[in-house]
Structure formats: C-alpha cells, structure tokens
Copies of this chain bind each other. A is one copy, B any other.
Amino acid sequence: MAAITSIMRAHQLFLARANDTLRPFDLTYSRYEVLAWLVWQSDDGSLSLKDLSEFLQVTPATITKAIDRLEGARLVRRVPHPHDARTTLARITARGRRVVGQATDALNRDVFEAVSLSDEEMHDLFRLLLKVRVDAGDFVELLDDDIPSVGAR
C-alpha cells in the first residue's frame, strides 16, 4: 500500500511539473497529450474523438471539452468523417504542430530529463509498473511491442 501511495504522489508531482512547464504555451498536460497523439500516432495528423478517448483512456466527455479548448486556441480543427456522419475527426493545424514541437522540447528539458534513473532502473520501474497495471485491469495490448521482456524471459 505504501507503493500505491507512492505512485499517487509521483503522479501528482509529475503532473504539476509538466503543467508548470506547459503554462507558457497555454497548454495543460492533458491537452498536450491530445496533440502528441495527433502528431505521432496518426498518419495524417487526424484521429476520431472516439480513438482519442480510447488511446488516452478517458471518457468521451473529457475529449469533447479538450478538443473544444484546443479548437479555441486554433491548435486543432474538427472535420467531419468522410464516410460516417456520426464521427468527427480532430485534425492538428500547422500552428498546433509548431506548438507541440516546442512544448515537447520543453518537457524533455524540464521534466523527463530530471529523472536520474539509469537505463536499467528505468526498465525495472517500467516492468514493475506494468505488472501493477495489469493487476489493476489495464489494457496493455498496444504497449506490448515496447516491452518485449514482460511475461517472456
């Protein structure tokens, strides 16, 4: 249970640091994540709101509001799906690509590189967290290729 409390605290700290770093860009970590998925996890910079909801593991209502704000900041645009009138796509704008690039540099510099774990420690941490997540019911299919040493070996 101390381990779980520790997870909670680590989350709180990283979220706070990330939001501090992103504040100059008028972004939050949640909205940064949306932009990041659009840029690096899609072929043409657009994803359906449904897909975003699944990838980020938040409810559709959360995505609706996030896209509202991102659209207000002209970082994404809603475009209708060509074949299914039920779904709407979020497409990142040129401005969005520029901002997410700068934001990523800032996050790498100020947050991710602040962690002093060795590669091996980082891998151990990831492996242990993955076990915990699976126990808690996470869907990890998408991540399997990132962590070949789990379950196997």
Number of interface residues, chain A, beta carbon within 8 A: 40
A9 CA / B56 CA spacing, docked (Å): 9
Digit string of A29-69 for contact with B (CB within 8 Å is 1, else 0)? Answer: 00000000000000000000000000001000000000000
A57 CA / B125 CA spacing, docked (Å): 24
Digit string of A96-115 for contact with B (CB within 8 Å is 1, else 0)? Answer: 00000000000010011011
Residues of B within 8 A of A125 (CB): 3, 6, 125, 128-129, 132
15 additional contacts (CB under 8 A) given A1-B108, A10-B11: A6-B133, A8-B11, A8-B14, A8-B15, A9-B57, A13-B136, A14-B136, A17-B136, A115-B132, A116-B131, A117-B128, A117-B135, A121-B131, A124-B124, A125-B125
**Residues of A that sit less than 8 Å from B by CB:** 1-4, 6-15, 17, 57, 108, 111-112, 114-117, 121-122, 124-126, 128-133, 135-138, 146-147
